[in-house]
Structures are given as structure tokens and as C-alpha cells.
Amino acid sequence: MDGVIESLRHSGTTAQALGVSVGGLIGVFGTLAVFFALIWIAVRIGGRS
């Protein structure tokens, strides 16, 4: 990961923007996927109790 960041630091601005976009989208989808899993489990547990 450090290698990717270091390489992007020395790249052009558009390549950096692409890097931020890929990382950002992964971060947003990943975080919301965790929220989804928590809600899904909580609703299932709540439904049974």
C-alpha cells in the first residue's frame, strides 16, 4: 500500500485523482457494506426476539 501511495505521489494530478477515486469508492462501498451487514444482522436478531 505504501508503495502505491509513494508511486502516486510522483505521478501527475489526473493519475492522483484516479487513485483517490478508486480508494474513495472502495472506502465508501466498504464502509456502507459494513453498515449493511450490521443492519441486516440486527434486523434478523430483532425479528426473532
Partner 1 sequence: MGDVFIGFSSLGWQEFVMYLVGATLVWLAITKEYEPMLLLPIGFGAILVNLPLSVVWEHEGSAGFLKVLYDGGIANELFPILIFIAVGAMIDFGPLFKNPFMIFFGAAAQLGIFATMIIATLPPFGFSLKEAAAIGVIGAADGPTAIYVANKFAKGMLGPISVAAYSYMSLVPLIQPPVIRLLTTRKERRIHMAYHEAGVPRWLKVAFPIVATMIAGIVAPISVPLVGSLMFGNLIRESGVLERLSKTAQNELAYLVTLLLGITIGSSMRADTFLNVRTLMILGMGLVAFVFDTAGGVLFAKLINLFLPGDRKINPMIGACGISAFPMSGRVIQKMAAEEEKGNIILMHAIGSNVSGQLGSIIAGGMILALVPLLAK
46 near partner 1, rule: CB under 8 A:
yes
Backbone angles phi, psi at 10, to 5 degrees: -100, 10
20 near partner 1, rule: CB under 8 A:
yes
CA dihedral 2, 4, 6, 9 (to 10 degrees): -140
Give the H or E element holding residue 4. helix 2-9
CB of 25 to partner 1, least distance (A): 6
3 near partner 1, rule: CB under 8 A:
no
Binding site residues, partner 1, CB under 8 A: 5, 8-9, 13-14, 16-21, 23-25, 27-36, 38-40, 42-43, 45-47, 49
